[in-house]
Amino acid sequence: MRFMRFKINALGAVAVCMTVILCACGNSGGGGASSGAASAASALAGSTASAASSVTAASSVTPASSTKASESSSSASIDGGITFADQDLEKYKDGFFGVWVSSLKEREDALDACTILKNDGYDAAVVYSPDWENLNKDPRYCITAGRFLSEAEANSLLTKVKNNGFKDAYVKASGKMLRHRVRYICVGLDPYEFFPDKVAIRNVTVMEFTSEDVVEATLYCDKDTVFDPSCDMSPFISHKQGEGVFEWMRSLESRKKTGSDEDFTEYVGVFEVSVTGSHIDRVYGAYWWD
């Protein structure tokens, strides 16, 4: 299954393009690549050390987590909090010290590289830099070899990481998670339930933005839900100028009485949003299967 623009391949790996832009997650608060990016690229592309060598084989590796569903998946009520599919993400939402080894422009490339590091024994993770208080606002998928609550623990791993070929790896605090960004998949109109002050989308599949972990949940929007300024509005065909997410979604109820399901394709597909609990705070985009 491949989603337009995101190129999520749920059945196997996508070849990793190892165009490394080290420090794009914001080393020392900077916004660009460090002067050591070339040597980091060398480590990722062909070091004799085990971790770096593993990443070289990206094109032949199938991520173990690519079709993984959370064993603890559960449905949340409208008033309840959505469960983090990635339990570690919930643990570190107030911030962590990362051992940063690389950052990439493409989500799937970063996930593949992260999986290879995990296979080599690292507790690696990917984070999306704009979603964290202390990381670069220039969007990058940043790869850390581990997440720690203390700087001392992170520095202990840093030594090992450097010895394994990632010479330009460094430790930096992420700051707090600014938003819980997810994607939910709606395959029909049945999940929509309408109330005077909210619209619920019941029992939809929700994917963490920086992993393939999945949870089933009920989400809802209300008048506080907004379209992000970066959102491409072209998929929202019936959206009127000045209309909010709630008004756009609420209009489906009356329109369903006069139209067929084929008239409402804008309400199905993959939606990228940020959430607090089960509340949809912000909508970043909608995408279709191709």
- Could you report the per-residue pLDDT of 207-231, keeping only the tens digit for each? 988 888 888 889 999 999 999 999 9
Mean local confidence (pLDDT), 262-279: 90
Would you state the pLDDT for residue 101?
A: 94
Assess if residue 5 is contained within a domain: no
pLDDT top residue among 246 and 64: 246
- Residue at a domain's end among 173, 188, 203: 173
Q: How far is 53 from 46, CA to CA, in rounded Å? A: 5
Statement to judge: residues 133 and 168 lie in one domain = yes
**Least confident residue range of 9-23, 91-105, 137-151, 260-274:** 9-23
Residue 35 has a CB neighbour count (10 Å cut-off) of 10
Statement to judge: residues 137 and 268 lie in one domain = no
Would you state the pLDDT for residue 26?
A: 55
Residue 40 is which amino acid? Answer: A
- Residue at a domain's end among 173, 196, 211: 173
Assess if residue 8 is contained within a domain: no
Tokens encoding 193: 């339930």
Assess if residue 90 is contained within a domain: yes
Long-range contacts of 155-164 (CB under 8 A, 24+ apart): 157/99, 158/99, 161/51, 161/99, 161/101, 161/122, 163/49, 164/47, 164/49, 164/50, 164/51, 164/52
Mean local confidence (pLDDT), 272-287: 93
Mean local confidence (pLDDT), 100-119: 92
Whether residue 176 contacts residue 94, with contact meaning beta carbons closer than 8 Å, is answered with yes
- C-alpha gyration radius of the chain: 20
Assess if residue 3 is contained within a domain: no
- Could you report the per-residue pLDDT of 132-188, keeping only the tens digit for each? 999 988 999 999 999 999 999 999 999 999 999 999 999 999 999 999 999 999 998
Return the CATH number at 39.
3.30.70.1070
Assess if residue 13 is contained within a domain: no
Statement to judge: residues 258 and 282 lie in one domain = yes
Into how many domains does the chain fold? Answer: 2
- Residue at a domain's end among 158, 173, 188: 173
Statement to judge: residues 189 and 230 lie in one domain = yes
Assess if residue 1 is contained within a domain: no
Would you state the pLDDT for residue 67?
A: 29
Statement to judge: residues 214 and 167 lie in one domain = no
Residues 6+ apart with CB under 8 A from 77: 218, 278
The pTM assigned to this predicted structure is 0.69
Statement to judge: residues 136 and 65 lie in one domain = yes
Would you state the pLDDT for residue 211?
A: 84
Beta strand 141-148 pairing with 97-104: antiparallel
Assess if residue 7 is contained within a domain: no
Domain residue limits at 231: 180-287
Alpha carbon 30 to its chain's center: 22
Statement to judge: residues 61 and 192 lie in one domain = no
- Could you report the per-residue pLDDT of 225-259, keeping only the tens digit for each? 999 999 999 999 999 999 999 999 999 998 887 76
Statement to judge: residues 169 and 34 lie in one domain = yes
